[in-house]
Structure 1
């Protein structure tokens, strides 16, 4: 594996963590939304990652990056609250709130941010090693 493959790996890692940060921010932004129907209530979303094993197994590349398989909605139960005076209450007096746990989302945000920063530092280290290798030829 050459140092150039490090840039592919760290780039795919940064893209994946950026997507993770965006979905986490979306979850936090919608944490306090209210709906009058279960079907219309926001549900927490989470990205699903996998190693790009197809390329490595086919012998196309010696490096393996991160592949985003998709974004899934959480199947955790929604928060149902009895609030008949609320303007969004259904005919039985219930409002529905998202299944977003803000503490978990903040933890995800910190983790994604640190993972992103680690990938940036790895790319920077690889760049420095390549520069020093080029300086050997002078």
Structure 2
């Protein structure tokens, strides 16, 4: 039964990690037009148990994309410098949509794995009752 619990734990940690990823993607999309906003990304890290097996997936520290910010020309903008330029954001909506789709599919895969482990556990209990 320990293997069932471990598989449920691994898939639950994957669900949590992908939910955090989707949260940051939606934050990036919401701030795509915010001047000076830097894209956020969240790395995943594997945690190991005492036997050296992968126990769970967790999110690491949020990282800010250090690529150059877009220079926008608008002399009437309050943040514009003497040349009429200000820093936009470095969020690329195409990249964010691709990240959101990948996170969604990974979330669905983890959910399917969780459901399969639950069904196998339930079937085992039914067999043991007979």
**Length-normalised TM-score, structure 1:** 0.86
Indicate yes or no: 2:127 matched with 1:136: yes
2-side partners of 1:75 and 1:25: how far apart? 19
2:15 maps to 1:14: yes
Distance, in Å, in 2 between the alignment partners of 1:16 and 1:92 is: 43
Which shows bigger deviation, 19-28 or 74-83? 74-83
Instruction: Output the CA distance in 2 between the equivalents of 1:130 and 1:23.
Output: 34
Alpha-carbon displacement from aligned partner over 1:10-35 (angstroms, at most 9, x marks no partner): 0110010000000000000000122x
Partner of 1:33 in structure 2?
34
Distance of 1:15 and 1:133 partners within structure 2: 27
Q: How many angstroms apart in 2 are the aligned matches of 1:63 and 1:110? A: 25
Partner of 2:46: 51
What's the secondary structure of 2:60's corresponding residue? strand
Query: Is this contact kept in 2: 1:5–1:63, CA < 8 A?
Result: no
Q: Find the residue that maps to 2:26 and give its secondary structure.
A: helix
Task: Determine if contact 1:27/1:105 at 8 Å carries over to the other structure.
Answer: yes
Q: 2:65 aligns with which of 74, 86, 106?
A: 74
TM-score by length of 2: 0.91
State the alpha-carbon separation in 1 of the partners of residues 116 and 54 from structure 2.
Answer: 17
**1:38 counterpart residue number:** none
